[in-house]
Structure 1
Amino acid sequence: MPRDALFPANEHRHVLYEKHGYSAAIRSGDLLFVSGQVGSREDGSPEPEFKKQVERAFDNLRAVLKAAGATFDDIIDVTTFHTDPEAQFDDIMEVKSRAFPDKPYPNWTAVGVTWLAGFDFEIKVVARLPEAA
């Protein structure tokens, strides 16, 4: 099965993809594998305030999904990475509940880490693409 790299249109954050050598997402058949999205500003730098960083990460994820013709409703698996899970949990859950307000929720795995290249939160997903895509 061929794999196609996808990037959001008019994306200023391409500097992160180029700097670290990865694609925003890979489409393979009807599956979309989205690389970890962080709360970066347009210049690629981290959003300094944690909750805003999480919101930006979800916004950046939304842009990648949109480039593939998908939405949060198409996500089947989520993995998040946290530098201080216990202290960050409430902010993350608030943003998460806005992104996924209705059941059934996607699978979710949260991983505590010590380093995220200057960020404090990262989210990666697998989505099944709609038939129209």
Structure 2
Amino acid sequence: MREFVSTADAPSSALYSQAVKAGGLVYVAGQPGVDVTNGGLAGPTIQQQTRQALANCRAVLRAAGATWEDIVEVGVLLTNPADFAGMNEEYATWFPSTPPTRYVAKLGVELPGVLVSIRMTAFTG
């Protein structure tokens, strides 16, 4: 059985679900560094957008009844692979010890100003 999760505290679209819960897992869709309070990007730097993307993921996890400690896997998509070090700088502050598994790849679409999209999977079973 699948449960679709939605929250006003993270960016949304009619084209995808923010998260889907199934079999004790929560699959969080890719979240950009968009601040829903004003609808714009959190800032022009990779650090600002990474911070906001992770905050958006956290909001979706909370709406799904999951915690930060439930995260088992994170996927990071970068518009510019040269932003890897800057993304890691901010990312490390969110996962200071025992981080989840992670992959980093190049974002395949170009969205004006978007530097990063982060998705994750959490286990609540």
Normalising by structure 2, what TM-score?
A: 0.86
Percent same amino acid among aligned pairs?
29
Q: Which amino acid aligns with 1:17?
A: S
Deviation at 1:115, TM superposition (A): 2.5
Q: Return 5+ residue gaps in structure 2 as ranges.
A: none
Say whether 1:11 aligns with 2:9.
Answer: yes
Deviation at 1:72, TM superposition (A): 2.0
- Aligned residue in 1 for 2:41: 46
Q: Quote the Cα distance in structure 1 between the aligned partners of 2:110 and 2:5.
A: 22
Residues 58, 113 of structure 1: CA spacing in aligned structure 2 closer, same or farther, 3 A cutoff? same
Deviation at 1:35, TM superposition (A): 0.2
Say whether 1:128 aligns with 2:123.
Answer: yes
Deviation at 1:117, TM superposition (A): 2.4
Normalising by structure 1, what TM-score?
A: 0.82
Q: Quote the Cα distance in structure 2 between the aligned partners of 1:63 and 1:41.
A: 12
Deviation at 1:121, TM superposition (A): 0.1
Instruction: Please list, as runs of the form range in 1=range in 2, the aligned pairs for 1:5-84 lying within 5 A after superposition.
Output: 5-8=4-7, 10-11=8-9, 13=11, 16-18=12-14, 21-42=15-36, 43-50=38-45, 51-84=47-80
- Aligned residue in 1 for 2:96: 101
Higher strand share: 2
Q: Return 5+ residue gaps in structure 1 as ranges.
A: none
Deviation at 1:29, TM superposition (A): 1.9
Pick from 95, 117, 129: which aligns with 2:111?
117
Q: Quote the Cα distance in structure 2 between the aligned partners of 1:113 and 1:121.
A: 8
Higher helix share: 1
Residue 37 of structure 1 contacts residue 124 of structure 1 at CA under 8 Å; is this kept in 2?
yes
Residues 12, 38 of structure 1: CA spacing in aligned structure 2 closer, same or farther, 3 A cutoff? closer
SS of match in other structure, 1:17: coil
Q: Which amino acid aligns with 1:11?
A: D
